[in-house]
Amino acid sequence: MVMAPRKPRPHRDMLMDSVFAIVFVLVACVELCDAATVVDVYRLIQYDMSGVPFGSRLASLNHHAASLHFSPNSDLSRSVLLIPLRELNISFVKEYISESKPLGGLIFLLPQMFSFEKKGGVGSNHQDESKELLKNVLAELEQILIHANIPYPVYFAFEDDTIDAVLTDIKKNDASGQPATATTGGYKFVVSAPEPKKVVSPPISNIQGWLAGLKTDDSAQQLPTIAIVASYDTFGAAPALSVGSDSNGSGAVALLEVARLFSLLYSNPKTRGQYNLLFGLTSGGPYNYNGTRKWLRSLDQRLRESIDYAICLNSIGSWENDLWVHVSKPPENAYVKQIMEDFSGVAEELGFKVNLKHKKINISNPRVAWEHEQFSRLRVTAATLSELPTAPELLESTGGLVDSRHFVNEKAVIRSVKLIAESLARHIYGHQGKNIQIFADNSSLAVNPSYVRSWLDLFSQTSRVAPFFSKDDPFVASLKKELEEHTDEVNVHRDVLDGVFTFYDSTRAKLNIYQVASVTFDLLLLLVLGSYLIVLFSFLVITTRGLDDLISIFRRPPSRKVKTA
């Protein structure tokens, strides 16, 4: 049997193969310049205060990367500086911001210990000087950034092996005097983010629980009430990272444990006190305790008038030997004296000291330094228990990147709970001056360290900056549910944060890091690709039309005059 001769392969198939080859080369070239990595980044807060802009005013990035090793005469207007906190020079940042020097953007690399995913208490590490130094540097950096108007994007990211390797390459390029540019190559940082928009009607949610006291036959009038209050939100340079483990996670956790302890006492009519207990978890704390003011005004007037005094809890998770009771009413006030006597007696038994700090409020001044001042403005006696000896300035000591779980000591929170619970119990049950421990260790009414620890961990993993905290946020639901476990008549008072603040969205993004080839590489690639196309074209012409046709293509055509002749 004679086989038919094999037909030659159609030229069209050869052409298609060539096209596929070109596409392959192009894809390979693109892959050489593809993203080296993608990193989670968190934007510096953007807000207006009384119409004055503060924080980072842009979100998008598309610039070449540089490090602190850039040459002195470099133009950084189209560069993003990648700065590890460990190498940060505060004077450099102050200079660039105060003098408004041109810069494409800033990205600060934070150690992992400031991540809300980093678990574990301080223990002996709390005394580590290097960690304390980094904490102080970051706290100073935050204050500079949130009080400045910065016309370019500013982001935070966390150290890891991938971005550390990128930083090492960037440093090498800068040290060699060849920073990343269009001609030298290097790395390019790209953040694709929409223009930040104003947060319209930012919600706040105040959660309240109630433990009713026991009325006797001869107590026809309404029972007196003691309020225990703590704001649960926080503030920081990067809203998506601000968990406020101490300010004011510690205060809110202490409130939950106090509510749990007294729910055990009040569940039995024989041990239920003749005081109502009102528990309030408030929002808007960093903004003049805006939520506290709204919550108090929403209370029934008779309930508000029944409050003997209120104890506000603020930042009680990082102290060692001293706590402070801040009051607005004079120390001679009967309720203030009672609070101090109860606190001082219990503190002495527990081995530490409680100090009194009196600061008269100015009704005409809208600034509210402590939560108890909102009570005082409504003529309700109140005090704030805190580790802070002096009133912080606006937006200071309100959490931030430094306020992570790593720097909160749960033992300090437990001692604070013991102080509050024992002091209240002695007042409620008339045991003043008596060395009686109702919440003694190893008893059924002992403070539960596991409960405190678990809630501290949860607070330390939840960013809680009020304008970006939805009214339907699962965390608010969790707080409400927890109060329902230990108190009665739990309800959530929802309102809108108002005042002098306006906030903008876009708090987190993805940073695409591209390794960009230099122009030399691009020219070499173009030369190789062009040569390949010429050879391919010549081959196709020769195989289809012959060598003479190929030569005729490149031969100079005769002039029109010669052709006419």
Q: How many CA atoms lie within 13 A of 156 on its CB side?
A: 26
Exposure string of 134-170, with b = 16+ CB inside 10 Å and e = fewer, is: bbebbbebbeebbebebebbbbbbbbeeebeebbebb
Judge if 96 and 163 occupy the same domain: yes
CA distance 485 to 519: 66
Asked if the structure places residue 436 within a domain, the reply is yes
Asked if the structure places residue 538 within a domain, the reply is yes
For the purposes of burial, counting CB atoms within 10 Å of the CB of 449, is it exposed (0-12), middle (13-18) or buried (19 or more)? middle
Judge if 210 and 155 occupy the same domain: no
Please name the amino acid found at residue 368.
V
Q: Which domain holds residue 290?
A: 203-496
CATH of residue 425: 3.40.630.10
User: CB neighbours of 216 closer than 8 A, spacing ≥ 6?
Assistant: 274
Judge if 208 and 193 occupy the same domain: no
Question: Following DSSP, what letter does each residue of 382-437 receive, concatenated?
Answer: EEEEES-SSPPPTTSSS--TT--GGG--HHHHHHHHHHHHHHHHHHHHT-TT----
Judge if 435 and 511 occupy the same domain: no
112, 158 contact by CB (below 8 A): yes
Asked if the structure places residue 25 within a domain, the reply is no
Judge if 221 and 250 occupy the same domain: yes
409, 122 contact by CB (below 8 A): yes
pLDDT at position 221: 67
* Closest among 99, 97, 195 to 142, alpha carbons compared: 97
69, 175 contact by CB (below 8 A): yes
Judge if 371 and 276 occupy the same domain: yes
pLDDT at position 564: 47
Judge if 166 and 255 occupy the same domain: no
Judge if 185 and 209 occupy the same domain: no
Q: How far is CA 507 from the centre of its chain?
A: 9
Judge if 111 and 186 occupy the same domain: yes
Strand order in the sheet with 353-358: 353-358, 322-327, 382-386, 307-314, 225-231, 276-282, 203-211, 488-496
Question: In the block, which residue shows the tokens 């703590």?
Answer: 230
Residues 168/174/176/181 CA torsion (nearest 10 deg) = 120
Asked if the structure places residue 27 within a domain, the reply is no
Asked if the structure places residue 28 within a domain, the reply is no
Judge if 147 and 68 occupy the same domain: yes
CA distance 406 to 310: 30
Asked if the structure places residue 326 within a domain, the reply is yes
pLDDT at position 429: 93
pLDDT at position 30: 45
pLDDT at position 2: 47
CA distance 153 to 107: 8
* Closest among 251, 315, 302, 243 to 276, alpha carbons compared: 302
305, 224 contact by CB (below 8 A): no
Judge if 188 and 217 occupy the same domain: no
SS3 244: coil
CA distance 38 to 192: 12
How large is the greatest C-alpha to C-alpha distance in the chain, in angstroms? 135
For the purposes of burial, counting CB atoms within 10 Å of the CB of 484, is it exposed (0-12), middle (13-18) or buried (19 or more)? middle
pLDDT at position 270: 93
Judge if 173 and 288 occupy the same domain: no
Asked if the structure places residue 533 within a domain, the reply is yes
At 526-563, the pLDDT tens digits run 777 777 777 776 676 677 766 666 667 666 666 555 44
Other C-beta atoms lying within 10 Å of the C-beta of residue 526: 11
Asked if the structure places residue 53 within a domain, the reply is yes
| Consecutive 10-residue averages of pLDDT for the chain (565 residues) | 48 50 49 68 97 97 92 87 95 90 95 75 50 92 96 96 93 77 74 94 95 77 92 96 96 98 95 96 96 96 95 97 96 94 94 96 90 96 97 91 93 97 94 82 94 97 91 92 96 92 96 78 66 72 67 63 48
pLDDT at position 410: 95
Sign (positive/negative) of CA torsion 485, 491, 494, 499? negative
Checking phi first, is residue 41 left (phi over 0); if not, alpha (psi -120 to 50) or beta?
beta
pLDDT at position 52: 97
Number of domains in the chain: 3
The model's pTM: 0.85
Residues in the chain: 565
